[in-house]
Amino acid sequence: MIEIINLHKKFGKLTVLDGLDLKIKKGGIFAILGPNGSGKTTLIKCLLGMVIPDRGDILLEGKSVLHAAAYRNNINYLPQIANFPSNLTVTELINMVKNLRPKPADEKPLVELFGLRPFLKKKLGNLSGGTKQKVNLLLTFMFDSDLIILDEPTTGLDPIALIHLKETIQQEKEKGKTILITTHIMSFVDEMADEIVFLLDGKIYFKGSVQQLKEQTHESNLEYAIAHLISKQDA
Partner 1 sequence: MLKILKYSIYDLLRSRWSYIYFIFYLILGFVLLFLNTDIDKAIITLLNIIIVLTPLIGTIFGVMYYYNSREFTELLLAQPIKRKNIFLGQYIGVSLSLSLSLLIGLGIPFVLYGLFKSASIFDFVLLIVVGTFLNFIFVALAYNIALRTENKIKGFGFAILMWLMFAVIYDGVFMISLFIFNEYPLDKFALIATMFNPIDLSRILILLKLDISALLGYTGAVFQKFFGTSFGLLISLSVLTLWVLLPVWSIMHISGKKDF
Count of CA atoms in the C-beta half-sphere (13 A) of 171: 10
Does 104 help bind partner 1 (rule: CB under 8 A)? no
Task: Determine the Cα–Cα distance for residues 205 and 26; give it in Å rounded to an integer.
Answer: 21
SS3 26: coil
Nearest approach, Cβ of residue 162 and partner 1 (Å): 23
Contact pick of 5, 8, 15, 84 for partner 1 (by CB under 8 A): 84
Pairing of strands 14-24, 2-11: antiparallel
Instruction: Report the length, in residues, of the chain.
Output: 235
SS3 198: strand
Nearest approach, Cβ of residue 63 and partner 1 (Å): 14
* Comparison of 140 and 168: residue with beta carbon closer to partner 1: 140
* Comparison of 177 and 189: residue with beta carbon closer to partner 1: 177
Count other C-beta atoms under 10 Å from residue 111's C-beta.
20
Does 83 help bind partner 1 (rule: CB under 8 A)? yes
Task: Determine the Cα–Cα distance for residues 178 and 226; give it in Å rounded to an integer.
Answer: 23
Does 220 help bind partner 1 (rule: CB under 8 A)? no
Contact pick of 18, 56, 71, 203 for partner 1 (by CB under 8 A): 71
Task: At 184, give phi and psi (nearest 5°).
Answer: -110, 0
Contact pick of 30, 60, 72, 165 for partner 1 (by CB under 8 A): 72
Say if residues 104 and 144 touch (Cβ distance below 8 Å).
Answer: yes
Task: At 176, give phi and psi (nearest 5°).
Answer: 85, 20
Candidate segments 20-28, 79-87, 115-123, 227-235, binder of partner 1 by CB under 8 A = 79-87
Candidate segments 30-38, 82-90, 154-162, 166-174, binder of partner 1 by CB under 8 A = 82-90
Q: How many residues of this chain interact with partner 1, rule: CB under 8 A?
A: 26
What residues make contact with partner 1 under the rule CB under 8 A?
Answer: 11, 45, 48-52, 67, 69-73, 75, 77, 79, 83-85, 87, 96-97, 99-102
